[in-house]
Amino acid sequence: MLLDTLVNTLNTFPLPQLTYPARHKHSTITRTQVKKILPLLRNDVDKTAMMGEFSEWNDMTKKEQMYHSATVRGDDFIEVSLAQNGCTIIVSIYRMEDDCIYLRLDPDCSLVIREVSI
């Protein structure tokens, strides 16, 4: 049942259109990016919660994304915001844990960059 929910939710994300990232455009998380991130999470409950956060992010307008990024202060499970360039999406998952995950996503493409803490 949960697997069906994961697959159905995954299919709601848009495929990448490969548009050039720009400050004034909405920053969209794509299905390809979500597929790359899913294996990094601990369990299906966390995967479902992450996709819920990503869906909320994609539903925001550009103005709402900018406001959210300027005002929201960290969540211990997941945080989604814009980098200072105004278009790159910054994601932190399990940020207070030893197995924390820090990601940078270029919007509307398939690129996911994982930052490694040393």
pLDDT in tens, 59-68: 999 999 999 9
For the chain, the domains span 2-115
pLDDT at residue 15, as a whole number = 94
Taking 70 as the pLDDT cut, the residues of the chain under it are 1-2, 20-23
7 neighbors 44 (Cβ within 8 angstroms): no
CA–chain centroid gap for 115, Å, is: 14
Structure tokens at 36: 């790359």
99-116, pLDDT tens digit by residue?
A: 899 999 999 999 999 998
